[in-house]
């Protein structure tokens, strides 16, 4: 079928569309084909090498902000993704996940044990990772399920995607995230299946986690925490949350009823993991991030430009000045 279109006709279509800026309707008239076939002509022009599209190199990382973050917080690695101002939250998460995925993939070594939390930004990151299927990872759910309604952003689903794309097995933490009755929780912790997951978490070389706040938390969103619970946590000094563990401004777990109710990786286990990567987007988590870093809960960070600027500002560091647009000369 493609041979019915000569190179001459393809050159004409490409010239009209790419150089002269004609619409597909006008290109169709000049090349004497239906408008529906113009896209096919342009695709053939690319296949035959008549059209060679080049894109100027784009670095998605804000290197100056990364340098300031490394200097101020002493993190191992920082990835700050540039973002257009005013992006909707979902689009910002998608941008961070898409552009940071190949970088984070490079940090994950073959046969690593990876502790994995759920979350919208982690979901976007994982689903953009390359399909290698060769890393032989052990991916371990880092926290029980928030409720029975498991969605695409929860760790069980994200973990399965990661195992499929990079290669490996996924171990589920098959318990609720919170068990109010201490006796029932302790009984579950003695089960061989749960103990096996906990042992793997203790052996992890890497963890991918989100960082929540009292105002922006999956537990509030899904009804696991009621307003009275949030008030009690705030009274106890909680400023942030990782895997259901609420911590204060120096990164120590708050001494509340939740501490003995949560089924998840412990903060001490997180501290012992060589590479713990916080994956976040948005500028509303500065206090929680600063506390998590202070408590050695995070070793590295993936974040958007606005979030990085907010974190630096909360620590009294001026962000780099943005270049002013040049004035037009008459």
Domain boundaries defined on the chain: 7-47, 63-314
List of residues 6+ apart from 142 with CB closer than 8 A = 115, 116, 117, 155, 173, 201, 207, 209, 243, 264, 265
Token pair of 211, please?
A: 């960082």
Q: How many CB atoms lie within 10 A of CB 135?
A: 20
Instruction: Evaluate whether 303 touches 79 at the Cβ level (below 8 Å).
Output: yes
Exposure of 255 by Cβ count < 10 A (0-12 exposed, 13-18 middle, 19+ buried)?
exposed
Residue 71 to residue 62: CA distance in whole angstroms: 15
Give the phi and the psi of residue 55 in degrees, each rounded to 5: -125, 130
pLDDT, residue 62, reads: 96
Residue 193, both tokens:
């299946």
What are the φ and ψ backbone dihedral angles of 221, each rounded to 5 degrees? -60, -40
Hey, is 146 helix, strand or coil? coil
Enter the tokens of residue 221: 């969103």
What are the φ and ψ backbone dihedral angles of 35, each rounded to 5 degrees? -60, -35
CB 123 within 8 A of CB 153: yes
**Distance from C-alpha of 293 to C-alpha of 297, rounded to nearest angstrom:** 6
Question: Whole-angstrom Cα distance, residue 169 to residue 162?
Answer: 9
Where does 63-314 sit in CATH, by number? Answer: 3.40.50.1360
Beta-bridge mates of residue 209: 278
Tell me, what's the pLDDT at 1? 43
**pLDDT at position 217:** 80
Q: Residues 6 or more apart from 88 whose CB is under 8 A from it?
A: none
Round to whole Å and give the CA distance between 220 and 246.
Answer: 13
- In order of 2, 12, 116, 189, the CA distances from 159 in angstroms are 43, 50, 7, 22
What local confidence, expressed as pLDDT, does residue 47 receive?
93
**Residue pointed to by tokens 């109010």:** 180
C-alpha R_g of the chain: 25
> In sequence order, which residues have a C-beta less than 8 Å from that of residue 204 and are 6 or more positions away?
112, 113, 114, 115, 140, 269, 273
pLDDT lower than 70: segments of the chain? 1-3, 319-330
């Amino acid at each position: 079928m493609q041979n019915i279109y000569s190179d001459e006709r393809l050159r004409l279509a490409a010239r009209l569309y790419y150089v002269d800026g004609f619409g597909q309707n006008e290109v169709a008239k000049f090349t004497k084909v239906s408008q529906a076939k113009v896209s096919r002509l342009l695709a053939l022009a690319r296949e035959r090498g008549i059209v060679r599209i080049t894109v100027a190199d784009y670095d998605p990382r804000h290197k100056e902000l990364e340098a300031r973050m490394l200097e101020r917080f002493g993190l191992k690695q920082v990835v700050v993704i540039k973002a257009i101002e005013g992006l909707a939250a979902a689009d910002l998460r998608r941008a961070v996940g898409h552009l940071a995925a190949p970088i984070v993939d490079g940090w994950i070594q073959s046969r690593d044990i990876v502790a994995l939390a759920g979350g919208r930004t982690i979901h976007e990151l994982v689903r953009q990772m390359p399909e290698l299927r060769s890393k032989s990872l052990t991916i371990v759910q880092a926290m029980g399920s928030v409720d029975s309604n498991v969605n695409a952003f929860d760790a069980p689903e994200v973990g399965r995607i990661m195992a499929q794309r990079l290669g490996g097995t996924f171990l589920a933490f098959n318990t609720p995230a919170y068990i109010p009755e201490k006796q029932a929780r302790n009984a579950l912790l003695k089960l061989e299946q749960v103990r096996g997951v906990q042992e793997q978490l203790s052996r992890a070389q890497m963890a991918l986690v989100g960082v929540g706040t009292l105002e922006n938390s999956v537990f509030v969103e899904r009804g696991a925490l009621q307003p009275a619970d949030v008030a009690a946590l705030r009274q106890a000094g909680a400023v942030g949350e990782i895997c259901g563990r609420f911590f204060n401004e120096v990164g120590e777990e708050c001494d509340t009823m939740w501490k003995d109710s949560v089924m998840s990786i412990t903060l001490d286990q997180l501290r012992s993991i060589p590479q713990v990567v916080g994956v976040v987007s948005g500028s509303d988590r500065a206090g929680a991030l600063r506390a998590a870093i202070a408590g050695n809960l995070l070793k590295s960070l993936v974040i958007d430009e606005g979030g990085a600027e907010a974190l630096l500002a909360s620590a009294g560091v001026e962000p780099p000045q943005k270049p002013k647009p040049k004035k037009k000369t008459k």
